[in-house]
């Protein structure tokens, strides 16, 4: 299956970077250029293994994903439950490791396209498109993590919970 990957060094501790990466709702819209909405399903109030989310992209595509791993502050993984017709399967994950006084954040997508007869071409196109998108998203994420006002807002929100 094709895979795309992007990484950045962020000058914050892994705990903060992990928690920031898992934001949803209106705060997520402040840093994620891909989505127009995202939220938990089935009455869940926070992330965790087995929790499902619904994400709508700015292009109008919708995906329901389920957390298949959740290990703060090291990693998180999700898999598509339902989504755009052209994905046979789709999964994404974050990994966070201490690095040079900050955190190395790695974001990865693994996917396959359908129909099978078009898969070789669609996987190549998907790799190119998703590669661009994951780079845009992690760059926006890194900038947000290093924006003092946004980090202060995030930390205040965490304290209020």
Mean pLDDT for each 10-residue chunk of the chain (161 residues)?
A: 97 95 91 94 94 95 97 98 96 97 97 94 95 97 96 89 74
* Domain map (residue ranges) of the chain: 3-33+70-160
Residues in the chain: 161
Give me the CATH topology for the region 3-33+70-160.
Alpha-D-Glucose-1,6-Bisphosphate; Chain A, domain 4 (3.30.530)
d(CA 66, CA 145): 25
User: Residue 78 and residue 16: Cα distance in Å, rounded?
Assistant: 20
> What is the predicted pLDDT for the residue at 11?
96
Alpha-carbon gap, residue 141 to 106, rounded angstroms: 11
Sign of CA dihedral 7, 71, 140, 83: positive
Q: Which residue in the block uniquely carries the two structure tokens 């995906």?
A: 63
Q: Which helix (H) or strand (E) holds 151?
A: helix 148-160
d(CA 113, CA 59) in angstroms, rounded, equals: 18
Check: pTM over 0.85? Answer yes or no. yes
18, 73 contact by CB (below 8 A): yes
């Amino acid at each position: 299956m094709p895979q795309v990957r992007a990484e950045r060094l962020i000058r914050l501790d892994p705990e903060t970077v992990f928690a920031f990466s898992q934001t949803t709702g209106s705060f997520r819209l402040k840093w994620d250029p891909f989505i127009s909405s995202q939220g938990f399903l089935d009455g869940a109030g926070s992330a965790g293994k087995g929790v499902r989310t619904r994400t709508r992209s700015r292009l109008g595509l919708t995906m329901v994903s389920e957390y298949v791993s959740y290990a703060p502050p090291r990693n998180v993984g999700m898999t598509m439950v339902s989504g755009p017709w052209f994905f046979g399967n789709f999964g994404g994950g974050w990994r966070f490791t201490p690095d040079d006084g900050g955190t190395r954040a790695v974001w990865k997508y693994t996917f396959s396209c359908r129909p099978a007869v078009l898969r070789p071409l669609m996987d190549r196109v998907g790799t190119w498109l998703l590669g661009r998108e994951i780079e845009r998203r992690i760059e926006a994420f890194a900038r947000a993590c290093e924006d003092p006002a946004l980090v202060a807002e995030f930390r205040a929100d965490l304290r209020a919970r």
